């Protein structure tokens, strides 16, 4: 049951979107989010949605993949929509009702905004391997090293965390089965009892996480790891023609949304 | 006599998704009380999935598992009770130890069975005795004792529930030879004293040959062979085709026969090999 969690799962592929430099994609995602929050009218939303769909087609990401990731967010989306329906003033749908036409329009836009936001983020994680993502992030944050921000260490921690999430999920599954086999009961009882019932899972999980961390540290040390200083890479990241083209398109897109906003559209 | 019956058991993982995978298919067998069964099969043959059905950790996609005539998946109460009747020791069980002391950890199972304090105490002492964990260890933390000791404490934690069927998944994996022998002796001792059924999942053919009265071989989610060690080990080619091995003694006997040495009878333990070679020598055939 724990295996059903998708955490920005990566779908390997060889499309234009996959081939883009991770740095490009991160920057474009930021541009995309800024543009999304600049959108005010249906026209600008349509433009953002069009760009999203275009990127999905280029990256061979099906709507089904996106909706699978949306599932856990459904509650938040529904709540936002409901609040907007009820708390926007305007002309009531039926005389005396609290629901207004403006409210309906606004909540539809809010839904669209959240869905597009998530879709855009998923486009990044679906088409970029976690390693490439953290590498790109490290490169982008490099200037912060001047301010003594431990960028390399932070991104290393991030990629390790990403690497070990599936391992720990599997481990939790195993420990849960083992404790169930000893008659542990996780499903019934009061809240307090259930919290207590987690102890037989958490203790072995922590013990094994520490053991793994220890082993990983030894393995890294025995391969002469000594921090980011002077470390070279096997895969050098280099911006190519498609990256510059993507930047240009991104800039154009942002400009278009801002222009639309300027004209109140 | 209670009996563990499996009828047309099938289990499909992630049914209805692209990751759908049939782990075991249409397995029917029955294991009478007190039998010592060896479950063989390479990694991914479905044996782990199979054993998790025997105490209702996994529910069958189709088919039925009954113990003592009762469907173990009848309702959530039988599903809970069965955990105490069919004890399952997972691979590397020492990673599930969590209590402050060895005593408390062994007591976890019986406590979940809602037994009285006195009863729990009796079970813990009995189980610890079976696996040779001495009383002086009771107050130690299970995290600071040696690997072999941890393994035995973890097995005791399941034995303490007094299961009528004890299933052990690779109980000797990662132990030194002395530790392996000890654990296997403990298990045999437990079976002899309590009359429990024991199902031993193993990769190690020599362990299986030495311990089991009956061998069940899994291959690609099906039962490929089911019989006494003599029957199973008399078909070495099939075992090798499945990706398993034959016991060392059987391999040596096979090699000797190939070279024209006439050895009598079925040979799969060291004792049998020794006896057969001695007989052959006396008869002057080599």
Q: Which residue of B has its CA nearest to A1?
A: B14
Partners of residue B89 in chain A, C-beta under 8 Å:
181
Asked if the Cβ–Cβ distance from A204 to B96 is below 8 Å, we say yes
Contact B217, B56 (CB under 8 A): no
What is the percent of chain B with per-residue pLDDT over 70, rounded to a whole number? 99
Give the mean model confidence (pLDDT) for residues A37-55: 90
Indicate whether this complex's ipTM tops 0.95.
Answer: no
User: Which chain B residue shows the shortest CA-CA distance from A178?
Assistant: B90
When pLDDT is cut at 50, 70 and 90, the band that residue B264 belongs to is: confident
**Predicted pLDDT of residue B286:** 57
Predicted confidence (pLDDT) at residue A2 exceeds the cutoff of 70: no
Contacting residues of A for B96, CB less than 8 Å apart: 175, 178-179, 182, 200, 204
Interface contact flag, A175 B83, Cβ < 8 Å: no
pTM assigned to the model: 0.77
Instruction: Inspect the interface and report whether the beta carbons of B112 and A203 lie closer than 8 Å.
Output: no
Distance from the Cα of B91 to chain A's closest Cα (Å) equals: 9
* Cβ-Cβ contacts under 8 Å, B98 against chain A: 199-200, 203-204, 207
Distance CA B106, CA B83 (A): 15
Chain B residues near residue A184 by CB distance under 8 angstroms: 108, 112
Cβ–Cβ gap B108/A200 under 8 Å:
yes
* pLDDT in the model for residue A1: 41
pLDDT digits (tens, 9 = 90+) for A87-117: 877 777 777 777 788 888 888 989 999 999 9
Looking at residue B36, its pLDDT comes to 94
Least confident among A109-123, B60-74, B112-126, B234-248: B234-248
User: Are residues B90 and A200, on separate chains, in Cβ contact within 8 Å?
Assistant: no
Q: How far is B82 from chain A (nearest CA, A)?
A: 9
Give the residue with greater pLDDT, B262 vs B71. B71
CA nearest A179 in B: which residue? B96
Question: Mutating which of B58, B90, B98 best tests the A interface, going by the most A Cβ atoms within 10 A?
Answer: B98
The answer to whether the CB atoms of A182 and B113 lie below 8 A apart is no
Cross-chain residue pair B57–A200, CB shorter than 8 Å: no
Contact B88 A181 (CB under 8 A): yes
Query: What pLDDT score does B285 carry?
Result: 62
| Residues of chain B contacting A, Cβ within 8 Å | 52, 55, 57, 80, 83-84, 87-90, 93, 95-98, 108-109, 112-113, 143, 157-158, 161
pLDDT of res. A7: 52
- Report CB contact under 8 Å: B112, A175: no
With a cut of 80, say whether residue B284 has pLDDT above it: no
Using a CB-CB cut-off of 8 Å, the residues of chain B touching A185 are 80, 112
Q: Considering only CB atoms, which chain B residues are within 8 Å of A177?
A: 52, 57, 90
pLDDT digit string, tens, across residues B119-169: 999 999 999 999 999 999 999 999 899 888 999 999 999 999 999 999 999
- Class assignment of domain B33-60+80-231? alpha beta
- DSSP string of chain B? --EEEEEEEEEEETTTSTT-EEEEEEEEEEEETT-EEEEE--TTSSHHHHHHHHTTSS--SEEEEEETTEETTSSHHHHHHHHHHEEEE-SSGGGG--SSSHHHHHHHHHHHTT--HHHHHHHHHHHHHHHT--GGGTTS-TTSS-HHHHHHHHHHHHHTT--SEEEEESTTTT--HHHHHHHHHHHHHHHHHH--EEEEEES-HHHHHHH-SEEEEEETTEEEEEE-HHHHHT-HHHHHHHT----HHHHHHHHHHHTT----S---SHHHHHHHHHHHHHHT--
With 50 as the cut, is the pLDDT of residue A120 above it?
yes
Q: Tell me how far CA of residue B195 lies from CA of A53, B2, B165, B218, in angstroms.
A: 66, 11, 9, 25
Place of tokens 């897109």: A253
Q: Give pLDDT, residue B192.
A: 93
Spell out the residues 6+ positions from residue B211 whose beta carbon is closer than 8 angstroms to its own.
B36, B38, B184, B187, B188, B200
Task: Spell out which residues of chain B touch residue A200, defining contact as CB-CB under 8 Å.
Answer: 96, 98, 108
Tokens 């993982």, residue located: B13
Quote the pLDDT of residue A85: 84
Size of interface A-B (CB pairs under 8 A): 56
Q: Is the pLDDT of residue A4 over 60?
A: no
Query: Which among A177, A182, A204 has CB closest to B158?
Result: A182
Q: Where are the domains of chain B?
A: 33-60+80-231, 247-286
pLDDT digits (tens, 9 = 90+) for B75-122: 888 888 899 999 999 999 998 899 999 999 999 999 999 999 999 999
C-alpha dist (Å) from residue A28 to A2, A32, A34, A243, A257: 32, 6, 10, 10, 14
What's residue A261's pLDDT?
87
- What pLDDT score does B196 carry? 94
Confidence of residue A21 (pLDDT cuts 50, 70, 90): very high
Nearest CA in chain A to B107: A182
pLDDT at residue B130, rounded to an integer: 92
- Tokens at B95, concatenated: 């990673």
Cβ-nearest to B109 among A182, A203, A208: A182
Of residues B34 and A6, the one with the higher pLDDT is B34
pLDDT tens digit sequence for B155-212: 999 999 999 999 999 999 888 888 888 999 999 999 999 999 999 998 888 888 889 9
pLDDT on residue A8: 54
Name which of B90, B113, B143 is nearest A178 (Cβ-Cβ).
B90
Average confidence (pLDDT) over B227-240: 87
What is the C-alpha separation between A10 and A122, in angstroms, rounded? 9
- CA A52 – CA B250 distance, rounded (Å): 65
pLDDT digits (tens, 9 = 90+) for A160-206: 888 888 888 889 999 999 999 998 888 777 888 888 888 999 999 99
Most A CBs within 10 Å: which of B23, B51, B92, B95, as the mutation test of the A interface? B95
pLDDT of residue B272: 87
For residue B18, pLDDT over 80 is answered with no
Q: What is the mean pLDDT of chain B?
A: 90
Residues of chain A in contact with residue B112, where contact means CB-CB under 8 angstroms, are 182-185
């Amino acid at each position: 049951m724990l295996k059903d969690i998708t955490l920005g799962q990566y779908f390997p592929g060889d499309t234009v979107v996959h081939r883009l430099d991770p740095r490009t994609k991160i920057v474009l995602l930021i541009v995309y989010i800024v543009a999304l929050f600049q959108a005010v009218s249906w026209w600008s939303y349509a433009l953002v949605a069009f760009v999203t769909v275009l990127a999905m087609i280029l990256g061979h990401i099906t709507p089904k993949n996106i909706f699978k990731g949306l599932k856990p967010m459904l509650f938040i989306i529904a709540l936002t929509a409901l609040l907007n329906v009820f708390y926007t003033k305007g002309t009531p749908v039926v005389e005396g009702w609290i629901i207004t036409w403006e409210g309906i329009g606004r909540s539809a836009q809010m839904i669209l905004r959240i869905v597009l936001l998530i879709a855009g983020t998923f486009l990044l994680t679906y088409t970029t391997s976690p390693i490439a993502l953290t590498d790109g992030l490290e490169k982008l944050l490099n200037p912060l090293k001047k301010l003594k921000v431990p960028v390399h260490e932070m991104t290393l921690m991030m990629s390790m965390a990403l690497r070990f999430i599936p391992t720990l999920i599997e481990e939790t599954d195993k420990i849960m089965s083992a404790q169930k086999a000893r008659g542990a009961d996780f499903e019934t009882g009061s809240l307090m009892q259930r919290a207590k019932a987690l102890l037989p899972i958490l203790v072995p999980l922590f013990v094994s996480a520490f053991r793994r961390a220890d082993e990983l540290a030894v393995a890294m040390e025995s391969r002469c790891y000594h921090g980011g200083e002077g470390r070279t890479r096997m895969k050098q990241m280099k911006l190519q023609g498609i990256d510059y083209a993507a930047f240009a398109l991104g800039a154009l897109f942002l400009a278009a949304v801002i222009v639309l906003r300027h004209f109140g559209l | 006599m209670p009996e563990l019956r499996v009828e047309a058991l099938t289990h499909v993982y992630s049914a209805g998704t692209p990751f759908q995978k049939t782990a075991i298919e249409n397995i029917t067998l029955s294991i009478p009380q007190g039998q010592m069964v060896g479950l063989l099969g390479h990694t991914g043959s479905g044996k782990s999935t199979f054993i998790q059905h025997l105490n209702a950790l996994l529910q069958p996609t189709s088919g039925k598992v009954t113990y003592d005539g009762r469907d173990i998946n009848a309702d959530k109460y039988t599903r809970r009770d069965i955990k105490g009747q069919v004890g399952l020791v997972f691979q590397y069980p020492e990673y599930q130890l969590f209590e402050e002391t060895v005593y408390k950890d062994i007591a976890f199972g019986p406590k979940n069975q809602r037994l009285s304090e006195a009863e729990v105490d009796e079970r813990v002492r009995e189980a610890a005795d079976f696996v040779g964990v001495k009383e002086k260890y009771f107050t130690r933390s299970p995290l600071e004792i040696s690997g072999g000791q941890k393994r035995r404490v973890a097995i005791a934690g399941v034995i303490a529930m007094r299961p009528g069927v004890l299933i052990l998944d690779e109980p000797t994996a990662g132990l030194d030879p002395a530790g392996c022998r000890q654990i296997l002796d403990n298990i045999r001792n437990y079976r002899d004293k309590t009359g429990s059924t024991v199902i031993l999942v193993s990769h190690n053919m020599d362990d299986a040959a030495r311990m089991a009265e009956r061998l069940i071989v899994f291959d690609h989610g099906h039962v490929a062979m089911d019989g006494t060690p003599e029957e199973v080990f008399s078909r070495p080619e099939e075992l090798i085709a499945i990706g398993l091995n034959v016991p060392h003694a059987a391999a040596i006997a096979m090699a000797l026969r190939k070279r024209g040495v006439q050895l009598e009878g079925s040979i799969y333990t060291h004792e049998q090999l020794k006896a057969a070679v001695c007989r052959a020598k006396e008869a002057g055939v080599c």
